[in-house]
Structure 1
Amino acid sequence: MLAAPLAHASDTYKIAYIDPLSGPFANVGELMLLHVRYAVDDINAHGGLPGGQKMEVLQFDSKLSAQESQSALQAAIDQGARAIVTGGSGSSVVAALVQSVSRWNQRNPGKELLVLNHSSIDPDMTGKNCSFWHFQTEANTAMKMKAIANYIKKTPQVQKVYLLNQDYAHGRQWASYGRQLVGLARPDVQFVGETLHPIGRVKDFAPYVANIRQSGADSVITGNWGQDMTLLLKAAGDAGYDLRYFNHSAGAIPGTVLAVSQSKVGQLTWVAEWHPGEEGVPKAEALAQAYKARTGKDFLAPRIDMTPRLLAAAIAKAKSTDTVKVAYALENLQYDSVVGPVTMRGEDHQLLLPQVVNTIAPVDGKTVKVGWEGTNYGFRTDAVYTGNELAQGTQCKMERPGNAS
């Protein structure tokens, strides 16, 4: 059974957004949803998919729960979704979604769905647990940590490192790759302690900061995000503890720059495909300005905006909305994004996109020219790496449908 032809413009191509829209990370989920909606509205404003078919976003609250996400998935299927956009619920939740979609697709030929994952970066999802139906549109944990390790290699001030992370799949992997890759880049670095804490449930990080201080650490490798990052910054600032933090994406989360500015001490270095105010990336800057003009909000994540655009490009390449054909078209898709050329690696469905190591720092008119979140703090570019420079090997043994036609 094939999908409705593209020429049937009256039928929308439905994308189900499943991410946290309530609870401690609701602000993150709302930001991600706004990025997706903006991109879909822009695609539709420029004619939609081939044949004039429009894209439509259905939204569901994952509540950071695998069970809630499963309920949302069933509701999305009932409402005719063809693709799932997710990533902000954590790697374990997204992995469960991918498994459920894989089972659904096996049992319901002709009604398959794709999962496009913009933010859950467990390398196993494009490694030993890879799925033909899952596409990763963000650099994974190993790629991001490699970029940070390359930077730490050139930063002799980093001597003693503490690993503080959320107690779930991503937090554990951020710690593991930090110890492994930073250790390889800087064998002289001492790892002086390691702690995992419940995700989204710690209200006061002062006891954790006290433990870090007792260890003598000058730096913290932390995968924390959302309130778990801002509360950590606050606790260290209240204690007057001048720490370096190395993180994957916290700078793109609302409130982080404000928290750094209020803490007065410490510096947060993170890695992403782009940061606000980055020079030499005019397309991203133009998109950020257009986004702000239309939504009134700050634009922070080109990869999330890019996710539905990659899907639309694959549909155009496949000349079909048939999910199997679209999945094959996504494999090895090359796309000229606002942050430069990107490639969806066919062997494991890992997007290869640039990564920028940058630090939240005071505006100085030279390396940091624009303040953010109403503060005099912005982003300083420290290093830029291409997707190919950070690409890792993969354990993926992809099982593909036998017939793409």
Structure 2
Amino acid sequence: MRWLAWVRWLLVAGLAVSAAGVFAQAGETVRIAFIDPLTGPVADIGRNSLRSWQFVAERKGGAGNPAGVRFVIAPFDNKGSPQESLNALKAAIDQGFRYVVQGNGSGVAHVLADAIARHNARRPDRPVLYLNYAATDPALTGERCSYWHFRVEADTAMKVRALVDFLAGQPELRKVYLLNQDYAHGQQVARHFREAVAERLPELQIVGDELHPPFQMRDFQPQIQRIHQSGAQAVVTGNWGEDLTAFIEMMQTAQMRLPLFTYYAALSGAPSALAKGHTLFPVYQVAYHHSNPPGELGRLAAEFRRRHQEDFVVFATHTGITLLGEAMARAGSTDTRRVAEAMEGLGIAVLGGHATLRADDHQLLQGLFVSRWSPVDTRYPLGAEGTRHTFVPLQHLTGATLAQPSRCNMPKR
């Protein structure tokens, strides 16, 4: 019977080796470079994003994720500049970082994605993985996709489709005015809105399509006048940061009552501007979150506000850390090459349901909410930025409904 004992020993040893491989990463520290504006016109949003990443990394580190790894987020200020972003990326790589997160600016995202792909081709032994949490140009997961780039936010085409589907249920709105920042993001919002309207809602008339210099406008009065003269019944804007806040304030000063459809009205500054001016017009937001999430996310948002005295609005930070933890557990490693493989096709629970990171192009397919700025009540008691108003969800569209056909021809590495 000695051979049976030998077989048992081999089986036990094999299981032990297998378990060691699966949990070899437990207790490791994964350092992530955060490359986004911490100074300049959108610094408040950049700093909120950084604090959100650091907060979620703390909450979901160690026993908070199935891999048992600890996450550390280190800030690199790119000042909103593509060149500064390249400098920050080089510094991060030189310091040994193998994970990068960035979101504020599709132009920066393209530069980083290209630079990381070149680095990984030169140094296949030290590949860098890039999580994009807010840059929404569809080309990043389309014709200019990269194996090392993963987007954990809905792209512009998905967001526009959600808005157009909502507008289809508003038969009284038949004339809209587009106002966007004149750079990649704003141009994409305008282009995809026109295309979606032509395909899905041809009776909707676009009576104005205006682009303006980003983060340079102080007076939107000329735009307000043109909107009024156009006969528009609503305004659609992809603006964010100071440009959105300034436009909201100008609409209030002009006592406009047209509905305003946005994508970023929950970001820092905009809710306070809406509340301060006693908004006369309906305000809507298309986003993957709203102000009163249930369950774990609601508890996390409440704790973040207590700690930082500001809103937790960058929910993609929670999505990104969750995906990394799940992928590292699946891979049994923190090696970026193995984690990238494990992330493809990975599904996780998100606010509103389920999300899947599509293997074909590394685009996260997740649902989106259409919410309206409304007074708090017993069902939605948490006000945005401490105000007595909040974004109340009106409609939720699933990721499968919003998914666009993949246009990525991505070589495997």
Deviation at 1:73, TM superposition (A): 0.2
Q: Which residue of 2 aligns with 1:352?
A: 365
Corresponding residue SS for 2:34 = strand
1:256 aligned partner, one-letter code = A
The answer to whether the Cα contact below 8 Å between 2:176 and 2:233 also exists between their aligned partners in 1 is: yes
Which of 380, 387, 390 is equivalent to 2:392? 380
The answer to whether the Cα contact below 8 Å between 1:49 and 1:55 also exists between their aligned partners in 2 is: no
Matched, 1:285 2:283: no
Q: Which residue of 1 aligns with 2:17?
A: none
Over the residues paired in the alignment, what is the CA RMSD in angstroms?
A: 2.1
Matched, 1:144 2:159: yes
Higher Cα Rg, which structure:
2
Matched, 1:400 2:412: yes
Which of 272, 281, 288 is equivalent to 1:258? 272
The answer to whether the Cα contact below 8 Å between 2:36 and 2:77 also exists between their aligned partners in 1 is: yes
Deviation at 1:43, TM superposition (A): 2.6
Q: Which residue of 2 aligns with 1:269?
A: 284
Which of 51, 75, 80 is equivalent to 1:64? 80
Q: Which residue of 2 aligns with 1:391?
A: 403
Q: Which residue of 1 aligns with 2:46?
A: 29
1:86 aligned partner, one-letter code = Q
How does 1:7-156 map onto structure 2 within 5 Å?
7=24, 12-46=29-63, 50=67, 53-88=69-104, 90-156=105-171
Distance of 1:262 and 1:293 partners within structure 2: 22
1:357 aligned partner, one-letter code = V
Q: For structure 1, which segment, 90-99 or 307-316, has the greater mean C-alpha deviation from structure 2 after superposition?
A: 307-316
Q: Which runs of 5+ in 1 are unaligned?
A: none
Deviation at 1:339, TM superposition (A): 4.4
Matched, 1:302 2:277: no
Corresponding residue SS for 1:138 = coil
Deviation at 1:308, TM superposition (A): 2.0
Corresponding residue SS for 1:304 = helix
The answer to whether the Cα contact below 8 Å between 1:38 and 1:305 also exists between their aligned partners in 2 is: no
Aligned length: 392
Matched, 1:340 2:353: yes
2:55 aligned partner, one-letter code = Y
Distance of 2:302 and 2:62 partners within structure 1: 17
The answer to whether the Cα contact below 8 Å between 2:182 and 2:213 also exists between their aligned partners in 1 is: yes
Q: Which residue of 1 aligns with 2:329?
A: 316
Question: How does the TM-score come out when normalised to structure 2?
Answer: 0.90
Deviation at 1:366, TM superposition (A): 7.0
Matched, 1:164 2:176: no
Q: Which runs of 5+ in 2 are unaligned?
A: 1-21
Corresponding residue SS for 1:81 = coil
Distance of 2:173 and 2:38 partners within structure 1: 37
Deviation at 1:7, TM superposition (A): 4.8
Q: Which string of whole-angstrom CA distances, capped at 9 and with x for unpartnered residues, describes residues 257-305 of structure 1?
A: 1222234222221111120125xx3332122223334444322232222
Distance of 1:241 and 1:115 partners within structure 2: 42
Distance of 2:209 and 2:249 partners within structure 1: 20
Q: Which string of whole-angstrom CA distances, capped at 9 and with x for unpartnered residues, describes residues 167-193 of structure 1?
A: 111100101111121343322221111
Corresponding residue SS for 1:146 = helix
Corresponding residue SS for 1:251 = coil
Deviation at 1:252, TM superposition (A): 2.5
Pair 1:350–1:207, CA change in 2 (3 A): same
Runs of 4+ in 1 over 6 A off after TM superposition: 8-11
Q: Which residue of 1 aligns with 2:15?
A: none
Deviation at 1:393, TM superposition (A): 0.4
Distance of 1:298 and 1:70 partners within structure 2: 30
Pair 1:156–1:367, CA change in 2 (3 A): farther
Q: Which residue of 1 aligns with 2:205?
A: 190
Q: For structure 1, which segment, 226-235 or 214-223, has the greater mean C-alpha deviation from structure 2 after superposition?
A: 214-223
Identical pairs, percent: 39
Deviation at 1:203, TM superposition (A): 1.3
Q: For structure 1, which segment, 110-119 or 40-49, has the greater mean C-alpha deviation from structure 2 after superposition?
A: 40-49
The answer to whether the Cα contact below 8 Å between 2:240 and 2:267 also exists between their aligned partners in 1 is: yes
The answer to whether the Cα contact below 8 Å between 1:64 and 1:93 also exists between their aligned partners in 2 is: yes
How does 1:240-251 map onto structure 2 within 5 Å?
240-248=255-263, 250-251=264-265
Distance of 2:373 and 2:273 partners within structure 1: 10
The answer to whether the Cα contact below 8 Å between 1:175 and 1:221 also exists between their aligned partners in 2 is: no
How does 1:197-216 map onto structure 2 within 5 Å?
197-216=212-231
1:287 aligned partner, one-letter code = L
